[in-house]
Amino acid sequence: MGARVRADWQYRTSFFLFLISQTLIASLDLAVIATIFSQVDELGGWSGAEVALLFGLAGVGFGLADLFVSQVELASRHIKEGTFDLFLLRPMPTLLHLSASEFALRRLGRVIQPLVVLVVALVVAPIDWSLEVVVLVPVTVLSGTVIFGSVWVVTSAVAFWTVESQELGNAFTYGGGLAAQYPIDVLGSWLRRLFTFLVPLAFVAYLPAAVMLGRPHPLGLPSAIGWATPVVALACAVTARATWALAVRHYRSTGS
Amino acid sequence: MRLYIEVARRTYARMSTYRSATLAGIFTNTVFGFVLAYVLLAVYRERADVGGFTATDAVTFTFVAQGLLMAVGLFGGTDIADRITTGDVIVDLQRPFDHQSWWAAVDYGKAAYYLPFRGVPPFVAGAIVFDLQIPGAARLGAFLVSVTLAVAVAFGWRYLLQLSAFWLLDVRGSNQLGWLVAQFLCGAFVPIVFFPAWLEHLCRILPFASMLQVPVEVWLGRHQGFDLLATWTWQALWAVVLLGLGRLVMARAVRRVVVQGG
C-alpha cells in the first residue's frame, strides 16, 4: 500500500487533478441535490438540511468503502488477463491483497467532501441530540462503509462466474450510492424494497437518520430499526466473505 | 471516406460481440433512470412545472437521457490518450489516414450500436412503469439528426481532452474532470431547466447542452420549425469549432512531440 501511495506521488500534477476530480464527483451529487432544492423546499417531506444529513452519512460511508474496498472490482480484469493466479500464490488473503495492491490515495477526495457536508448537516439539521445520537453517528458511518464494501465484494465476486461484472456491479454500487442519498420513501415501491431488503442500503443513511431526526417510519417499522444498522452491516460482511470464498474456490485460471 | 465507413462498421461489429456487457449496462442505466425519475417526481409533488417541464416531460427526459449516455459517449474513456502515452500514436500518424477522422469513425460506430441496443431497452422499461412521451416519425427523425450532431460535439470534446496526454503523461485526472463538468452541464443528471436561469443560459451557449439536453428536447418536441433549424445549426457550429480546435492542438502537439519509449 505504501508503495502504491509513493507511486502515485511521482506524477504529482495528475495526482492532484485526480484528487480534485474525485472531490468534484462527490460534489456533483451534491450539486444535483442543490439544484433540486433551488426549485422546492421539501423533497418527500424532508427539508434540504435533512437531505444533506442523508447525503453526508451515505457519502462518507460510500467514500470510505470506495477508498478501501472498491479495488476488488478489478478482480474481473485480473481474471481476464490471467494475473489472478499471482494473488493465489502469495501468503495473504486474496481480498486483502487485492485491495492493498490497487490502493489509490486519490480516492480520499470522495471522503473529504461528504465529511464536510455531514458536519455542516449535523449542526444545521433539527437533530434530537442525546447520548444515543452521538454514538449513532460514527456507528452509522462505519456500518455504511461495511455495507457498501460488502456490496462491492459480492458484485465483484460475480466476475468469477461471468468474467465480466463491473457494469452490473455499478447498478448496485454507484446506483446504490445515489439512491442512499435520498429519503427512500420518494422511490417507487419495488425500488424501495430492493434497497431495503435485498441490498440493505436503507440502513446506510435513511433509517438511522430518521432516528436522529426523531421521524416516524413510513415503512411501518419500529423506530429501533435505526439501531439495526451495525447488525445488518455484520450480516452483510459475513455474506460478502462467504460469497468471495465460494467464488475463489470456483476460480479457474484462463491460463495463457 | 470508404475507409472511415469501414472503421465505423468494424467498431460496430466489435461492440456487438460483448453481449453480457450490453445486458449489464442496460440494467445499470435502467436502475439509474428509475432512481432519478422517482426523485424528480418527488419534486413535482411540490409543484406542477419546473422551467417549462411538466412531470411527464421530466420523466421522459430521464429515460431518453439514460439511453443516450453511451451513444453520445459521455463517459470518455482513454483509448486515444493511451496510444499517446505509450508512444503508439507515432505509428498512427504515419499511416495514410487522418487521425481525428479515424477516431471520429470509431465513435460513430459505437453510437450506431449503442443507440438501439443501449438506448431503447431502458426507455421501454421506463415506459412500462411511467407514462412517457413517444414522438411521431417526423419528430423521431429530427431527434436522430440532433443525436448525430451531438455525437460530433461530444467527440470534439473527447478528442481535445485526450490530446492533453501529449503534455500530461497520466490523463485520467484531466479526462475525468473534463467529463464531470460536461456531464453535469449537459443535463445527464437533472435537466438543465432545473438550474438557475443564468446557468441554464450558459450551458446553452457553451457546447454542453448540445451534447445531451438539446437532443432530448427535440424528442420532447420543444424545438420546432425555425427554432429546430437554429438548434441544429448551433450544434453543428460547436461540432465544427471543437473539431477545428482539436486539429489545431494536434498540429501543435505533433511539432513538439517527444515519443515515449525507444
DSSP string, B3-34: HHHHHHHHHHHHHTT-HHHHHHHHHHHHHHHH
Task: Find out whether B87 and B261 touch, Cβ atoms under 8 Å.
Answer: yes
Grid coordinates given for A170: 455499478
Checking if the pLDDT of B154 tops 80, the result is yes
Q: What residues of chain B lie within 8 A of the CB of A182, using their CB?
A: 35, 39, 42
How many residues are recorded in chain A? 256
* pLDDT score, position A254: 61
Structure ipTM over 0.95, yes or no:
no
Mutate to test the interface with A, among B130, B180, B194, B208 (most CBs of A within 10 A): B180
Checking if the pLDDT of B262 tops 60, the result is no
Q: Please, which pLDDT band fits residue A251 given cuts at 50, 70 and 90?
A: confident
Q: pLDDT over 70 for what percent of chain B?
A: 97
Q: What is the pLDDT of residues A122-140, one digit of tens each?
A: 988 888 888 888 888 999 9
CA atoms within 13 A on the CB side of A32: 25
Q: What is the pLDDT of residues A24-52, one digit of tens each?
A: 777 888 888 999 998 888 888 889 999 99
User: Any bridge partners for residue B53, and if so which?
Assistant: B50
What residues have CB less than 8 Å from A139, skipping those under 6 apart?
A: A208, A229, A230
Q: How far apart are CA B259 and CA B85, in angstroms?
A: 8
Q: What is the pLDDT of residues B3-59, one digit of tens each?
A: 888 888 888 888 888 787 788 889 888 989 999 999 999 999 888 889 889 999 999
Phi then psi dihedrals of residue A42, to 5 deg: -135, 145
Mean pLDDT of B160-167: 87
Q: How far apart are CA A197 and CA A57, in angstroms?
A: 19
pTM metric for this prediction: 0.87
Q: How far apart are CA B79 and CA B129, in angstroms?
A: 37
The amino acid at A62: F
What residues have CB less than 8 Å from B90, skipping those under 6 apart?
A: B257, B259
Task: Find out whether B154 and B211 touch, Cβ atoms under 8 Å.
Answer: yes
Q: What is the pLDDT of residues B52-82, one digit of tens each?
A: 899 999 999 999 999 999 999 887 777 888 8
Grid coordinates given for A250: 470456483
Grid coordinates given for A123: 449542526
Which among B25, B28, B190 has the least Cβ separation from residue A175? B28
Q: How far is the CA of B16 from the CAs of A115, B22, B76, B159, in angstroms?
A: 42, 8, 19, 24
Question: Residue ranges per domain, chain A?
Answer: 2-250
Chain A residues contacting B via beta carbons under 8 Å: 11, 13-22, 24-25, 28, 31-32, 35-36, 38-44, 106, 162, 164-168, 170-171, 175, 178-179, 182, 186-188, 191
CA distance A210 to chain B (A): 18
* pLDDT score, position A188: 81
Q: How far apart are CA A147 and CA A240, in angstroms?
A: 9
> What letter would DSSP give residue A42?
E
Task: Find out whether B252 and B164 touch, Cβ atoms under 8 Å.
Answer: no
> What letter would DSSP give residue A103?
-
CA distance B28 to chain A (A): 4
Checking if the pLDDT of B260 tops 60, the result is no
Torsion of CA A231, A237, A241, A243, to 10 degrees: 90
Question: Residue ranges per domain, chain B?
Answer: 2-255
Q: How far is the CA of B221 from the CAs of A167, B142, B183, in angstroms?
A: 32, 9, 22
Helix, strand, or coil (residue B124): helix
CA distance B152 to chain A (A): 25
Checking if the pLDDT of B261 tops 60, the result is no
* pLDDT score, position B200: 93
* pLDDT score, position A166: 65
**Other C-beta atoms lying within 10 Å of the C-beta of residue B73:** 23
* pLDDT score, position B125: 94
Which among A25, A175, A186 has the least Cβ separation from residue B31? A175
Q: Smallest Cα–Cα separation from B216: which of B144, B160, B162?
A: B144
Q: What is the pLDDT of residues A80-101, one digit of tens each?
A: 777 777 777 777 777 777 777 7
Checking if the pLDDT of A211 tops 50, the result is yes
Q: What residues of chain B lie within 8 A of the CB of A32, using their CB?
A: 184, 189-190
Average pLDDT, chain B: 89
How many residues are recorded in chain B? 262
Q: What residues of chain B lie within 8 A of the CB of A73, using their CB?
A: none
Q: Which residue in A has a C-alpha nearest to residue B177's C-alpha?
A: A21
